[in-house]
Structure formats: structure tokens, C-alpha cells
Chain A
Amino acid sequence: MTRGVRSIAEAVRAGDCSALDVLRETLDAIAARNGEINAFTAITRERAEGAAAAVDFTRAAGDDPGPLAGVPFAVKNLYDVAGLPTIAGSRIDRAPATRDAALVSKLTAAGAVLVGALNMDEYAFGFSTENTHFGATRNPHDLTRIAGGSSGGSAAAVAASMAPLTLGSDTNGSVRVPATLCGVFGLKPTYGRLSRAGLRLFSASLDHAGAFCRSAEDLALAYDALQGPDPDDPACATRRVEPVLPTLGRGLDALRIAVADGYFTSQGEPEVFAAVERAAAALGATRRIELPAAGVARCAAMIITSIEGAELHLPDLLARASEFDPKTRPRFLAGALAPGAWYAHAQRFRRWYCQALKDVFREIDVILAPSTPYPAFPLGQATMEIGGQIVSAAGHLGVFTQPISFAGLPVVAAPVAQPGLPLGVQIIAAPWREDLVLRVAAAGEALGVFQSPSPVSMEVVSHA
């Protein structure tokens, strides 16, 4: 099963294959590959069979089965799925959800078929998906390496062709980091664009819902089905749906594209910056632009995340800290002890920063920046040496993503075509301009500079 969102939906809508056939292929792929990847924590087989049969019935009756008819999808296990406990990577008891998260309902209404829930760092507080309770998710391109996190299961499932579409969430880079390390396209829309109703949040000021696919066009199709206001999420904007598919193929036209300078040119391995330069050359981006106080933005994001995350789980930290993953527990406990002035100042800085970025977007339309500072590292590696400094190998993965999500800007993390371990770039635009980041991603794909590689090990499996 290596077909994408568009090809499946077109085939099912045309009657060239049934949604049940697609589902069977998907469940076979999961059965064959999930054992070594460990992306799925639950398979919703019964529900999926019912949903696929309903799509086939709708089509047979001559009705429209929806723009995503028969497209299998899976969600990070912090999304509510009716009947499943929303574990969010934790072992602390949780009653089954009584209804689906808003975005699960939207995809289902569009004809897509939920096949399961996906592994993540506990409560989304991590960049490596080395979950002590449920095991690490392994990178499909090299099973000895991390998939990235915290939406690691979501990225790995798409990279290993176990699902053409998955949902995740991004607070500091949790869509963009695993998308990059697994070599798939990840979309983190503008803060407030997609409803988070029915998600177990981590840091509500910064949490975004996002999606993973193998192409920009597939992401655009899914994104158009996911948009829309929702009073159940107080941060969700009241904007109308602004479809991106109609302008996806417009190309680079007169877009002013710049490469992020200064902060974004160090603290990573040389191959990362070389990948950005290759993308810039292909896209004709000759300008360079410096984002004001990007390093401060990363620090402020860490403060807000730590304090909001700790507050959310404070009752459990007080009553049963020993049941937390040892990988997250010290950081949650530390966040619970932070002084209030840190938080208030970080929130005030956020507004200053967003105002300053407005000036940047007067001069340019799209910014290219590295996505991660290095490719996937081996499972269990604790530290990394960068520019003579020893840093936390997982923690440092967010160095380039955090200053962008802190401003809530829309981003596509796009994989740069190259041999070896996957690497990627962030394609960034002004708030609410998802159309531009997806358009540039599609243009780069057409030029051959962006491409989601097929893992070598998976090719062996699929021909077995």
C-alpha cells in the first residue's frame, strides 16, 4: 500500500476500487510493518470496517462519498477516539472517550477511515518518541534510530506507508521534527486555524493540530477538509474555510522567498544548512532575512510550555509522580516550581515578537529555514556535540522550530531530496497564509528538490 491520499480518494470515488479493499491493504501493511516500527498503539479494525463499508454503500447508492472517500488515516494518541482511552502516551488510567475529536469527525465526514492511534512522547513533552511505557517508535529509514517526536508514531506510520495520512500536534516542533527525521511532509498550520477540541493538550498557548502525508498535494487535500471554526476550542479562529487546493499549482510566480539568516545558520550540522541552500537555489531564493530575537523566542517557548504543561498535570504530579515516564517526569516537576514572573514576561514577549515579525512579512512572502539541526540519531543517545557545546540530543532538535511556532506561523516541513538519512526545511509564511507554504512545497516537489523517500527496508517488505 504505497498510494497517497489523492490517488486513493480518486480510485474509490470512481469505483476503481472499494474502500474495503483499500482498508484490507492498509491493515495488511500495518500487520507486516508495525512490529518493527512500533508506530501504532491501537488498531480500530471494527470501526474501520464499518466506516469503509459505509463509504462503499454511499457510492453504490449514487451519493457523494466525500473528498477523502476511503482514505485510511490514524491519529496521535492524544486525539479523542470514541471508545478508546485518550492515553497521550501515559499509563495513568483514563476512561474511554465518549466522542471523537473535532478533526477526527471532520475527516470521517469527508469519507476518510480511521484505522488506529499512534505512539508519542508522554503528554507530548519530548522530541524523540522514546516512550518508556509503550516503547520507542523506530525510524523506518533506519530502525536503530529515533523517529523524532513528539508525534513520532504519526510520522513513522506515513513514512512506512502504513497510512497515507496521519494527524499529530505541534507545540514546539512536534509535527515538523518527526516529519523531517522520517522524510515526510508535515503541516503545522497557523495557531488557531484547526480545532483542538477533543485533543489532550500540552500547552494550550502554543498547541497546534497538524498533519502528515507523502506529498504537498495530499496535505492540501487533507487540510482543506480539516479547516473551519469551532466554538469548542477557545483558540480556534472564527475565519471561514479558505481552501488551498485551487491555488496549489500556481508555482513560484512572483513570490518573494528569503532564507532565514543569523540564528538559523549555526547550532546545526553542516549538511542541514547545505540542504537549505539546495532548496533555496532550486526555488530561486536569493534574499536573506534575519528574524528578530529568535533565540529569545525559543527560550520563552520553553518557559510557557514547561509551566502550562506542569499546571495541567499538577494533580497527578502531586499524587502519583512515580507513574510518569522517567523521561518527562523531571521536566514536569521542574515546571511546577517556576516563578510566575517568568511566565508573564514570556507571554508579553510573545506579543512583542509577533509584532516585530509583521515587519519582516512586509518585505517577503516566504521564509526558508532548517527544520532540525541534524538527522535522526541512534535510539538512546542522550547528548550531542554541536559547535563545541554538549547539548541534549532530543532537546536541541527544536532549536529551529521553536522560534517559528512561538509566533504561530504556518509551516510546511518538506523533505529535501537526497541520499542517506532524511533532512528537511521549514517553509514559513505570514499568519493565515497556509496557501503559500503548501504552494511552495508543491513547486519544490515539481522541481525535484523536495521528495518523500521510500525507506529501503520497506521496499523489501512490500516485495516479500
Chain B
Amino acid sequence: MADPFDPARYVPMAASALGLPLAEEDMREVIGAFAVLARVANVVMSFPLPEEVIAAAVFSPEDGKAQ
């Protein structure tokens, strides 16, 4: 899968959509950190998983009762 992100464009836009204020002096480092995440995400997303593989959930509807 091609890397779908240009972190330098995506980071300010996504932060604005979330209402997350990014200080000017942080911007370069946040873009750098996001670029690292995007790179490792690409490795993960490129690993094909059949639909049948479902995540193991810790959630239990009985949880509240046990306490």
C-alpha cells in the first residue's frame, strides 16, 4: 500500500479538525513524530489479514457484576 499521507499537510488539518491547538514551535516535531507513526502504520496496514481474524477483546458484559 502506498503511504497515503503527507504528514506536513495532514497534521495541521487533522489537528484543526480535532480542535487540538499545536504551538508553532511544536509543529515541526509533531510532523516528524507523525511521519514515524505513518511509516510504521504502513508496515502494519500492508500485512494482509482475512476478515475472520477478529481482535481479542478484554471487554466482558459480566464485568460490572463481578465487582
Contact = CB atoms under 8 A, between A and B. Distances in A.
Report the contact-size class of chain A (Cβ under 8 Å from the partner): 35 or more
Given A337-B11, A337-B14, A342 B53 contact: no
A295 B40 CA distance: 10
Interface in A324-381: 329-331, 333-339, 341-342, 344-352, 354
B12 to A, nearest CB: 10
B43 A235 contact: no
A347 B55 contact: yes
Contacts of B8: none
A162 to B, nearest CB: 34
Which of B10, B20, B26, B47 is most buried by chain A, counting CB atoms within 10 A of its CB?
B47
Interface string A257-272: 0000000000000000
Given A296-B43, A330-B30, A352-B49, A338 B21 contact: no
A19 B64 CA distance: 40
B10 A337 contact: yes
Given A234-B63, A306-B37, A317 B20 contact: yes
Contact of A300 (B44, B53, B56): B44
A333 B37 CA distance: 11
B21 to A, nearest CB: 7
Interface string A303-315: 1001000000000
Interface string A203-226: 001000000000000000000000
A48 B40 CA distance: 46
Given A299-B40, A337-B18, A354-B56, A349 B34 contact: no
B33 A331 contact: yes
Contacts of B11: 334, 337
Nearest to A191: B58
A302 to B, nearest CB: 5
B41 A334 contact: no
Give the dominant DSSP class at B's interface: helix
B45 A345 contact: yes
A348 B55 contact: yes
B29 A231 contact: no
Contacts of A348: 49, 53-55
A293 interface: yes
A14 interface: no
A342 B44 contact: yes
B23 interface: yes
A349 B23 contact: no
Give the dominant DSSP class at A's interface: helix
A310 to B, nearest CB: 10
A229 to B, nearest CB: 9
Contact of B15 (A205, A337, A351): A337
A211 to B, nearest CB: 23
A296 B26 CA distance: 29
A335 B30 CA distance: 9
Given A321-B26, A331-B33, A334-B37, A344 B55 contact: yes
Contact of A350 (B21, B45, B56, B66): B56
A261 to B, nearest CB: 20
B22 A333 contact: yes
Interface string A189-209: 000000000000000010000
Contacts of A317: 20
A302 B53 CA distance: 20
The list of the 10 closest CB pairs from A to B, nearest first, reads: A334-B33, A330-B29, A299-B40, A347-B55, A334-B34, A299-B43, A337-B14, A231-B66, A330-B33, A342-B41
Interface of B: 10-11, 14-15, 18-23, 26, 29-30, 32-34, 36-37, 40-41, 43-45, 47, 49, 53-56, 58-60, 63, 66-67
Interface of A: 205, 231-232, 234-235, 293, 295-296, 298-300, 302-303, 306, 317-318, 321-322, 329-331, 333-339, 341-342, 344-352, 354
29 contacts: A293-B47, A295-B43, A299-B41, A299-B44, A302-B37, A303-B41, A303-B44, A321-B20, A329-B26, A330-B26, A333-B26, A333-B33, A336-B18, A337-B10, A337-B15, A338-B34, A339-B41, A342-B37, A342-B41, A344-B55, A345-B47, A345-B49, A347-B55, A347-B56, A348-B55, A351-B53, A351-B56, A352-B49, A352-B53
